[in-house]
Amino acid sequence: MNQYLEISGEVQEALRSGKPVVALESTIISHGMPYPQNVETALRVEQTIRDNGAVPATIAIIGGKLKAGCTAEEIEYLGKKGQAVTKASRRDLPVLIARGEDGATTVTTTMIIAAMAGIKVFATGGIGGVHRGAQQTFDISADLEELAETPVMVICAGAKSILDLGLTLEYLETKGVPVIGYGTDELPAFYTRHSGFGVDYRIDTPEELAAAFRAKEACGLKGGMLVTNPIPEEYSMPVEVINAAIDQAIAEANEQGIHGKACTPFLLARVKDLTGGDSLAANIQLVLNNARLAAQTAKCLTLS
């Protein structure tokens, strides 16, 4: 086992006995929501996974250790420390480990640590992608590269409309990553069910999701699988409302020279303010929805 990897006792026992396990990221705790909603939401997501018959494994870097399965106290620690915790992508891991520092894992690093631990299913909010104007800035999320390399199924509510969704899909196609719509033929756009872009395949049951992932593994195909699960209809925000807020937030980020990994937290915070908090409520509900589907799918995978 990797000397820097620490798997909690509960997660170790679940993996050893063939029980379903679902990975969860920690950037949503430290960078995605304010305290105390971040901690409350993280614990609700874990409970949702338990209620659906699986074991949650919140992933983070604490004191230079790669944690697969955080305690409630560690989640509280990450939530209170907030943005003082490094938002850790692949490039950050060696230095954070060597220095014994903390890191909140993005989609990329959650996939890496989940794969190290032997966890195959990961529930998150939304993935990163190709940013608007990437033709000039080359601002492309490392999430897309990780999906091309690491064998983990990522269940999310699509990609945020702060991104260039068309180019994000093109990039994933080039990398051979299957983009699946769960119960939909259209790529969901995080806060809303609609983007105007199609997915590669529609799948309607957790059993078929598990079967597709098993087939990919059996064929030795590298990389992950992206499952886009639309936010429940009752929480979906009107496209014109969310797009107007995003456009304004992007304009403000450009004016202030905000870019790189500081960009997404800034945009999400501004969108929350511009929508009167509605986007935060939607964010919480879509994560819970993804956790339910991830637990159901992980259960199907363990039955193979």
Which residue(s) pair with 5 in the sheet?
66
- Tokens for 188, please give them: 């969901």
Among 301, 286, 206, CA closest to 32: 286
Q: Determine the distance from the C-alpha atom of residue 148 to the mean position of all C-alpha atoms in its chain, rounded to a whole number.
A: 15
pLDDT for 204 beyond 60: yes
pLDDT computed for residue 138 by the predictor: 84
What are the DSSP E strand ranges found in the chain?
A: 5-7, 21-24, 55-62, 65-68, 86-88, 103-105, 121-123, 153-156, 179-182, 201-203, 225-228
DSSP single-letter state for residue 120 = -
Helix (H) or strand (E) holding 172: helix 165-174
Catalytic center residues: 25, 160
pLDDT computed for residue 69 by the predictor: 98
pLDDT computed for residue 304 by the predictor: 61
- Tokens for 175, please give them: 């990398």
pLDDT for 133 beyond 90: no
Q: 261 or 209, which is more confident?
A: 209
pLDDT computed for residue 1 by the predictor: 52
Q: Could you give the 3-state DSSP secondary structure of residue 158? A: strand
Cβ within 8 Å of residue 272, ≥6 positions away = 279, 280
pLDDT digits over 246-301, tens only? 889 888 988 998 877 677 778 777 877 887 777 788 889 999 999 999 999 999 99
What are the DSSP E strand ranges found in 82-152?
A: 86-88, 103-105, 121-123
pLDDT digits over 140-169, tens only? 899 999 999 999 999 999 997 778 999 999
pLDDT digits over 54-98, tens only? 999 999 999 999 999 999 999 999 999 999 999 999 999 999 999
Q: Among residues of the chain, what percentage have pLDDT more than 70?
A: 99
pLDDT digits over 3-15, tens only? 999 999 999 999 9
CATH class of 5-302: alpha beta
pLDDT computed for residue 33 by the predictor: 86
pLDDT computed for residue 57 by the predictor: 98
CA dist., res. 251 & res. 112, Å (int): 33
CA dist., res. 199 & res. 184, Å (int): 8
